[in-house]
Amino acid sequence: MANLGHCHSVAVVIPVYNGRESLESVVDSLQKFSLSTISPQGLSFNVAEVILVFDCGTDGSEVVLRTLEQKYNSVRVIWLTRNYGQHAATLAGMASTTAEWIITIDEDGQQNPDDIPRMLDIARTHSAQLVYAKPNNNPPHGKLRNIASRVTKGPISRLLTGGEVQNFNSFRLILGETGRTLAAYVGHGVYLDVALHWIVRKSATCEVHLRDENRRHSGYNRKALMSHFWRLVLSSGTRLLRIASVIGVLSFIVGVVLAFTIGIGKIYFDYPVTGWASMFIALLLFGGSILLFIGIIAEYIGLLVRTSIGKPLYVIGSDPQKSSLEHD
C-alpha cells in the first residue's frame, strides 16, 4: 500500500509547434492534478511543473504560451531560438524540469492527461523507469501513414534495435533523474527513444485510448517523416552493417564450398566446368570479402558515432529501491 505521506512530483513537458487551437485545453486539463491526487492504486502525486517548449511554429502559438504562463504559476515556457524538431524540444524541456517524474505529451489534445495516474501505477507495479502509452485505437492520420508507423514500430524497429524500442510513443512517463541525465549528454540528431533505452533498466506500457477532440492532421510532412525515420536508423548503431558482415561471411563460405566441389568434380570425375562457374565463385569470394571488411570498418565508425551522439560508457543513478515507486 502506498504511503500517502509522500506526494510524488510530476513535471509535464509539452513541445509546442502549432498548438494555438488545442494547447490551452491540454494545459487546463492538467490543473486538476496541481494539488495532491491519489491514483487508482493509492499513489499520491501532483503535477508540480508544466514545461511548454516553443519550437518556433507558424500559427501564433506564442501568444497562447504567454497567456498560459501568466494564468498558471506551474507553467513555464522555454523559448527555442529556431525550429529544432520535436525530439530536441522534448529534451530541452526535460533538461529544465526538477520533478521526480517527467511526462511528455503532445500539444494536440489526442493524448489524455487523465491517463497519467495509471501510468504512474504501472511504473510502480513493474518497477519501471520508463512507461510508454500504448494506444488501442488508430491516430487520425491517413491509412498509409498508420501502416508505415506500425511497420516502423514493428519489424523495422526489432531489426534495428533488437526489439527494445518497438513500443515507443511520444506520450511517456520517465524517471526524472533519467530524463535529465539523458538531456545533459545526448548528442545532435539522436532518436530520443533509442537514447532512452541506452540507460533505462526496465520499461513498460500502459494501454490508452486516443481522444477524438482537437484531432488534426499530423504536422509532419513526408520530408520530416523520412528525417525522423533516418534518425532512428542512424541512432541504432551498426546493426544493419553487421548484417552485411554476416552476409559477406556466408557468401565467402558458399564461394569456398562451391570452388571445392567443382574442383573435386573436375579432378576425380572429369566434370565439365563452364565459364560462368569460375566467375560466380570469384564474385562470391570477392563480394563476401568486401562485405566483411565493410562490417569491420562499420565497427570503427560505430565507435565514432556512439561518441558523437553522446552514448555514455556508464550512467550513475540512485538506489533503484529509493527511486522506484514500488516501496513508497
Q: Give tens-digit pLDDT for 117-148.
A: 999 999 999 999 999 999 888 766 555 555 55
182 Cβ partners below 8 Å, 6+ apart?
Answer: 91, 94, 195, 196, 198, 199
The domain segmentation of the chain, as residue ranges, is: 8-224, 239-308
Cα 88 to Cα 304: distance, rounded to the nearest angstrom: 21
Look up residue 264 and give its DSSP letter: H
Grid look-up 494555438 returns 20
Collect contacts of 283-286 with beta carbons under 8 A, ≥24 apart.
283/255, 284/251, 284/252, 284/254, 284/255, 284/258, 285/251, 285/252, 285/255, 285/256, 285/259
Q: Is the confidence at residue 2, as pLDDT, over 50?
A: no
The alpha helices in 50-165, defined as continuous H runs, are 61-71, 86-95, 116-126, 143-151, 157-161
In tens, the pLDDT along 242-264 reads 777 778 788 888 888 877 777 77
CB-hemisphere CA count at 13 Å for 151?
7
Cα 228 to Cα 24: distance, rounded to the nearest angstrom: 27
Which pLDDT score, from 0 to 100, does residue 224 have? 61
In tens, the pLDDT along 72-83 reads 999 999 999 998
CA-nearest of 56, 105, 99, 102 to 79 is 56
Percent of the chain with pLDDT over 90: 38
CATH superfamily of 8-224: Spore Coat Polysaccharide Biosynthesis Protein SpsA; Chain A (3.90.550.10)
Sign of CA dihedral 108, 114, 228, 93: positive
Model confidence pTM above 0.75: no
Q: Which is more confident, 18 or 121?
A: 121
Pull the grid cell for residue 280: 560466380
